[in-house]
Chain A
């Protein structure tokens, strides 16, 4: 039995059912297309669920081929490292408005590199400064985009 496929099929089915029911409340025929799509998704997820329990062995299973695709299971160490990367990215996006674009980026790039094990200080700081400098030039000189105001300027 493939637990991962079974669980993801259940989640997709619930999502599609919710989308189908919501589409039923749309007026003027605007629910037709979402209802067709969510029905197809419900059928596909139901088949995926059944297949998770009764999948016949294929040639790859029999000759025990190595799995090298992106969906192989992560090791504990990999899970920790990817989680750090995701949490830091989320924190970076959340802090752009309160801290300002440059301050948040100035904190994010080095913290992310150090947290994941990078230790070459000069490289980290040179990359950070060059990147933020280039970003600043693009925003101010090319796009003329007003950015969220830097916290440091609001304090003084």
Chain B
């Protein structure tokens, strides 16, 4: 294993992947710095362009975008109090007060350093934890793999959005989309309506690009915002932190980020790490007013869950986040099936990607610090109304280039409209993508399990690992219901208290 690990590192340290990592990190920081755009959008837009690249350069580019965008979100969070990415909300609490004190450069520098530390620790976790987990997963048969995919879908549906029912419907929609085309077991046509175009199914890329690129672009049109270029952003870089002050926070937040990142569907890492840093701090009163520890905690945890979310993706084929789902799609598009077999058949891919996550995290120190405060901060001057058509053109260019055909472009347009409608009606998008990506595997393993047992469904619920996964899926699905019941109880108590207060005569 060590041989493969180091030969993957040597493969990565060649011109193509190095350029891809630098370009990806810069692109990621730029995207993350633009409020409204995200790593998810960046990766969705970049995947089609990786078709012509060798797989290691492609993964290096995507790793750079992933790490870069997570850090880039800190720039508008610090300068404008606008979180560039959802994970940067906690960054605004201490980053913006520091900027108001004239320490914007120092705050961006600290954010970059914290992100780099979080990213490096997370990548080390990916390199060390994924192989043993994959060896365990090799013992899984078709029924277990079926339940693993169901668990992944249940976790994402229940935990990623606000509404488990809508998450479940979205996942179901994705699974139905994945079943369009020829059935992999019998070769029968499904939902093709006798159209030749649908025989090979709906391209995953069209769904990913359509649903993740068009809705955020159209949402940029919602607000009547400034339509002119802003003034030049001038930032003076200075070091505002001491290692002794932040190393404990970095370590604790990064470990928290890894644990939370491994769990599918968790999007609360930044809040937990921020609260923990505040609880453990000797100066908790500074939190929210420009605390160095607060900013360090928020940024290190943001990047710590990046590589960690890839651990279940690469070992079990179950994505832990939106971006992990897109990465899973990217691997499928390049001809690799994520899961335990990937470690056995193509270890250079897994380790190459893991090293790319580590190196791009290190690249955040120069690119996310000094360069970001001078160059990337300038993207904040671009009006969103110019960015909107550029995103659409990039999405169309990329989708066309993927198959050299307009059909995926039309499909991406249709899925963009569906995605926009779903967002407006409160449905999460991620379960659709995960349903599309995992659907074929779930279907295939269900059918093979039934063939193995001559049609007896008991094979699905009598094996010990299957029972464990069924219980886990049920717990994940019912957890939001427990939260809802608690919420209703609290509301009743709140109402009762209000009523008692209003009934008490004033003295």
Q: Mark A57-99, 1 if CB is under 8 A from B, else 0.
A: 1111111000001110010011001101110111011001100
Residues A29 and B447 in contact in the complex (CB < 8 Å), given A57-B491, A85-B221, A117-B385: yes
Q: Are B217 and A44 in contact (CB under 8 A)?
A: no
Q: Does B272 count as interface, using CB distance less than 8 angstroms? A: no
Chain A residues closer than 8 Å to B426, beta-carbon distance? 4-5, 69-71
Q: Mark B64-91, 1 if CB is under 8 A from A, else 0.
A: 0000000000000000000000000000
Q: Does B209 count as interface, using CB distance less than 8 angstroms? A: no
Scoring B165, B172, B389 by chain A CB atoms within 10 A of each residue's CB, the highest score goes to B389
Q: Does B191 count as interface, using CB distance less than 8 angstroms? A: yes
Q: Are B168 and A30 in contact (CB under 8 A)?
A: no
Number of A-B residue pairs having CB atoms within 8 Å of each other in the complex: 196
Residues A70 and B219 in contact in the complex (CB < 8 Å), given A34-B179, A59-B494: yes
Report which of B168, B219, B397, B409 forms a contact with A139, defined as CB distance below 8 A: B397
The segment out of B39-47, B123-131, B464-472, B482-490 that lies at the interface is: B482-490
Distance from A56 Cβ to chain B, minimum over Cβ atoms (Å):
5
Chain A residues closer than 8 Å to B169, beta-carbon distance? 12, 41, 44-45, 48
Q: Are B413 and A90 in contact (CB under 8 A)?
A: yes
Q: Are A109 and B491 in contact (CB under 8 A)?
A: no
Chain A residues closer than 8 Å to B404, beta-carbon distance? 145-146
Residues A81 and B224 in contact in the complex (CB < 8 Å), given A30-B190, A96-B406: yes
Chain A residues closer than 8 Å to B495, beta-carbon distance? 57, 62
Q: Does B173 count as interface, using CB distance less than 8 angstroms? A: yes
Q: Are A4 and B425 in contact (CB under 8 A)?
A: yes
Residues A47 and B393 in contact in the complex (CB < 8 Å), given A112-B388, A118-B383, A142-B52: no
Measured as residues with beta carbon below 8 angstroms from the partner, the interface class of chain A is 35 or more
Report which of B217, B386, B491 forms a contact with A127, defined as CB distance below 8 A: B386
Chain B residues closer than 8 Å to A51, beta-carbon distance? 165
Distance from B241 Cβ to chain A, minimum over Cβ atoms (Å):
32
Q: Are A71 and B423 in contact (CB under 8 A)?
A: yes
Distance from B208 Cβ to chain A, minimum over Cβ atoms (Å):
17
**SS of B interface (majority):** helix
Q: Does B3 count as interface, using CB distance less than 8 angstroms? A: no
Chain B residues closer than 8 Å to A113, beta-carbon distance? 385-386, 388-389
Q: Does B227 count as interface, using CB distance less than 8 angstroms? A: yes
Q: Are B390 and A26 in contact (CB under 8 A)?
A: no
Distance from A114 Cβ to chain B, minimum over Cβ atoms (Å):
9
Chain B residues closer than 8 Å to A22, beta-carbon distance? 191
What separation, in Å, do the CA atoms of A56 and B183 have in the docked complex? 43
Q: What is the chain A residue whose CB lies nearest that of B215? A: A70
Chain B residues closer than 8 Å to A47, beta-carbon distance? 165
Q: Are B176 and A58 in contact (CB under 8 A)?
A: no
Q: Does B238 count as interface, using CB distance less than 8 angstroms? A: no
Q: What is the chain B residue whose CB lies nearest that of A136? A: B397
Residues A145 and B383 in contact in the complex (CB < 8 Å), given A34-B176, A62-B494: no
Distance from A3 Cβ to chain B, minimum over Cβ atoms (Å):
11
Q: A78-B223, A118-B386 are in contact. List 16 more A-B contacts (CB 8 A).
A: A4-B426, A30-B183, A32-B446, A48-B166, A58-B487, A58-B491, A70-B423, A74-B424, A85-B388, A86-B420, A89-B218, A117-B227, A123-B386, A131-B390, A132-B393, A139-B397
18 residue pairs bridging A and B, Cβ less than 8 Å apart: A4-B425, A5-B426, A22-B191, A28-B188, A29-B186, A41-B172, A44-B165, A45-B169, A48-B169, A57-B495, A58-B488, A59-B491, A69-B162, A70-B424, A96-B400, A105-B393, A108-B392, A139-B401
